[in-house]
Amino acid sequence: MSKLTGVLYGCLIVFLGGWFLGEWSGNFSALLLVLTLITMVYWLLERYHFAPQRVATVATLAAQADVRRRQLADQGITRVDEDFGPARAALLAQPWWLDWTAGLFPVILAVFLLRSFLFEPFKIPSGSMIPTLLVGDLILVNKFHYGVRLPVINQKIIPFHDPQRGDVMVFRYPKDPRIDYIKRVVGVPGDEVAYRHQQLYLNGVLAPTQALPDFYNEDSLRYSAQFTEDLGTLKHQILVDRSREMFLRQIAPFPFSENCVYNAEGITCKVPPGHYFMMGDNRDNSEDSRFWGFVPDANIVGKAFFVWMNFGNVKRIGAFQ
């Protein structure tokens, strides 16, 4: 078993190394599931085979020692300098390959359950959600807000809340589900979403905005116009760069692309059932549903709600809208 454990750890190190170096992609949820199952097998073997076997060995040695002491006593020898304490401890101790498998099972199981059904950490990799979220923010994603989903396959089994306009949501990128994206929900099923001349329209009505002081981006060292946008139930901040209005175009065909019309003014889309229209708060620096289409319900990961750390600015810690 020790050789098998060494081989398994070797495979894990090679896989993680190649993943870190970008030689291949990986699914962390699937990796956690595999580690949970493997360590569970070791834990069961330890509990019902190896540990009882070690206890039985110690009991056998103790019985043999008792027999020897009685034999010596029959010969008139009553003082025997024998200390089975260290030997007993050595026999009962787990070998290294059980320490690093069965011993880790409770921890790995707890992480797997927590990450799969309750909360998942996520790091903001780009500036598409500035000013709400900054590059380097470490956030928590509520995995059960929209419903309970089976890990790895992401199949919803118990529905809870439907995504609402204004929610900041993490989802699997429709073009490559191995990648997680984070954007804001601006259109729910049945909505007509239009973005024309850097202004958002929902069902033909201009989303109300209110000007705020310009936002200074410390990464790009430039100012951007900042506004409060009202999506009906939630107000949040957005950035608009009046100097660089983007020409909106479809990157590639996507499901229900016939629901969208692109022209010189912008884009108008009818959100199909079971899908959502997502946009970044940094409107002129966000690749979102305007370019690659709708997010199906099956791709939803969870609702983002809390910054738990930013090592460059601890003042970022807290809830956000």
Q: Which are the catalytic amino acids?
A: 128, 183
Angle, alpha carbons 226-228-232 (nearest 5°): 155
Residues linked to residue 139 through DSSP beta bridges, in sequence order = 122, 307
DSSP 12-29: HHHHHHHHHTTSS---HH
SS3 30: helix
SS3 210: strand
Structure tokens at 249: 């175009």
SS3 225: strand
DSSP 138-205: EEEEESSSSEEE-TTT--EEEE-PPP-TT-EEEEE-TT-TTSEEEEEEEE-TT-EEEEETTEEEETTE
In the numeric block, the tokens 């206890």 are attached to 55
Structure tokens at 20: 């870190």
Residue 282's alpha-carbon distances to 28, 67, 256, in angstroms, are 28, 81, 25
Return the HEC string of 44-112. HHHHHHHHHHHHHHHHHHHHHHHHHHHHHHHCCCCCCCCCCHHHHHHHHCCCHHHHCCHHHHHHHHHHH
Angle between helices 85-92 and 51-74 (to 10 degrees): 160
As a whole number of Å, the end-to-end CA separation of the chain is: 51
In which element (H, E) is residue 276 found? strand 275-279
